[in-house]
Amino acid sequence: MSKIDEAAGEIKPSKYDRPENYKPPAPKPAKKAAVINDDEDALMNFENKPKRAPPKIGQRPVKKKEAAEDMVIDSGPPKKPAAKPPALSSARPKTAISSTKGPSVPII
Amino acid sequence: MAEESKAVEEVVDPLEFAPEKDVLSQFDGEWQDTTAAIKKWDDKVAKLTEIAKACENVKIKSGNVEAFAAFLKKEVSNTNVNISMAAITASASVAKGMKKDFNVGAKVLMGPVLLKYKEKRPMILEEIGKFCDAAINCANLEDLAPEFIPMITNIAPGVKNGTIKWLEKAAQVTFIDVLQRIMGELMPAMSKAIEDKDGTVRDSALHCMGILKGRYGEAVMDKYLKNINP
């Protein structure tokens, strides 16, 4: 029995301890380590790209384009000018008669 | 240590970059028939030596090896030791050059070659060893199990001893799942060999059992080892 144990001790771990068709598991994709930038004066690189563009100091903001005035909207044949509403007595221009005094002489 | 073991495992095969040669077509059916019909043993040995010479330092092109292996098997089993030895040498050369492509050939030749361990001449024993070593690279233990397991319980002590020693070597370079698949057939034969009346066989069997224990693990081997006298 001691001979068997002695011989058993001769066996060292090897690739044959795995099954014949053993495939090692695919390595997980390593997470990107956060870049710690201690040097504040260092130039910015693309890895630390800011979300917003830096403010443009000393430049006037670009005006937004206004809608073109000359643009003619093509909407069929030209329409006739709308008919004037009937003239109302209230809309008639008042005469230069003083409103405080009533008519002294009937107008013929 | 880990690097060292890795370096040992990843041995570069020198024949990997060797030129490929179509040896099988050179020794076709006609050549086999002519050689088999030769009566004089030295002429036959000379013919068989041609095979080994043609296989020197070349990678042999794959092909149908069944007929060629059957021819070699017949010559390996020849009663003339010189012819048998030349055939074993030729078989070893082909196995070395073909590797996995000689799987069928290794299965056909394994039994007759192991039987030649009954010979006592060191020269033939050396050639048998060369073939057995080459056969490990052609077929795994599961493929060869029907050929070598009966040899563990053969009448001739030389056959038993030679087979066990080869098994011990092969078990160390066999994947564990392959070893586990032949365990059911192998262990009864090995248990019998441990109790052999021949001291050399017993010693070889005990050492081989130890190697198998190292591979299978203690828990698995306990049921086979509990009846052994300490």
Name the domain boundary from B74, B105, B139: B139
CA distance B72 to B136: 18
Contacts of residue B154, defined as CB under 8 A and 6 or more positions apart, other chains included, come to B115, B160, B163
Are both B130 and B20 inside the same structural domain? Answer: yes
Q: What confidence score (pLDDT) does residue B1 get?
A: 45
CB contact under 8 A, A11 and B215: yes
- Cα distance between the two ends of chain B: 34
Q: What was the ipTM of the complex prediction?
A: 0.76
User: Which of A7, A14, A20 has its CB closest to that of B210?
Assistant: A7
Q: What is the pLDDT, as a whole number, of residue B14?
A: 73
Domain end call among B115, B139, B163? B139
Please check whether residues B118 and B219 belong to one and the same domain. no
Report pLDDT for A74: 59
Q: Higher model confidence: residue B219 or residue B202?
A: B202
Nearest residue, CB atoms, B175 vs list A8, A9, A20? A20
Q: Which amino acid is at B114?
A: L
Instruction: Find the mean pLDDT for residues A26-51.
Output: 67
B193–chain A nearest CA distance, Å: 14
Domain endpoint, select from B106, B139, B172: B139
Share of chain B above pLDDT 70, in %: 93
Answer yes or no: is pLDDT of A104 > 80. Answer: no
CB pairs under 8 A between A and B: 63
- With b for 16 or more beta-carbon neighbours within 10 A and e for fewer, the B41-50 pattern comes to eeebbebbee
Asked if A13 and B174 come within 8 Å (Cβ–Cβ), the reply is no
Judgement on whether residues B170 and B208 belong to the same structural domain of the protein:
yes
Q: Is B167 in contact with B174 (CB distance < 8 Å)?
A: no
CATH of the domain at B31: 1.25.10.10
Residues B104 and B163 in one domain: no
Whether residue B177 and residue A17 make contact (CB cut-off 8 A), yes or no, is no
B176:A17 CB<8 A: yes
> Which one of B143, B207, B208, B225 makes the best mutation probe of the A interface by having the most chain A beta carbons within 10 Å?
B207
Residues of B with Cβ-Cβ distance to A17 under 8 angstroms = 176, 215
Q: Is the pLDDT of residue A35 over 70?
A: no
Which one has a higher pLDDT value, A64 or A3? A3
Residue B77's nearest CA partner among B109, B102, B105, B55 is B109
The pLDDT assigned to B166 comes to: 96
**Residue A81 scores a pLDDT above 70:** yes
Q: What is the mean pLDDT of chain B?
A: 90
Q: Contact A11/B214, CB-based, under 8 Å?
A: yes
How far apart CA B22 and CA B132 sit, in angstroms, is 23
pLDDT at residue B146 in the model = 95
Residues B96 and B169 in one domain: no
Residues B121, B181: one domain?
no
Residue B3 pLDDT exceeds 80: no
Q: Is A97 exposed, middle or buried (0-12, 13-18, 19+ CB in 10 A)?
A: exposed
**Residue in A8, A18, A20 closest to B210 by CB:** A8
- Same domain, yes or no, for B13 and B112? yes
Query: Which of A16, A17, A22 should one mutate to test binding to chain B, selecting the residue with the greatest count of B CBs within 10 A?
Result: A16
**Lowest-pLDDT range, A102-106, B42-46, B174-178?**
A102-106
Do B209 and A4 make contact, defined as CB atoms within 8 angstroms? yes
* Token duo for residue A106: 């009937």
Among A50-54, B5-9, B36-40, B103-107, name the one with the lowest average pLDDT: B5-9
pTM: 0.71
Comparing B132 with B15, the larger pLDDT belongs to B132
Determine the 3-state secondary structure of B218 from DSSP.
helix
Overall domain count for chain B: 2
State the smallest CA–CA distance between residue B135 and chain A in angstroms.
Answer: 18
- pLDDT band for A80, please (50, 70, 90 cuts): confident
The domain of B150 spans: 141-230
pLDDT, one tens digit per residue, over B159-196 is 999 999 999 999 999 999 999 999 999 999 999 999 99
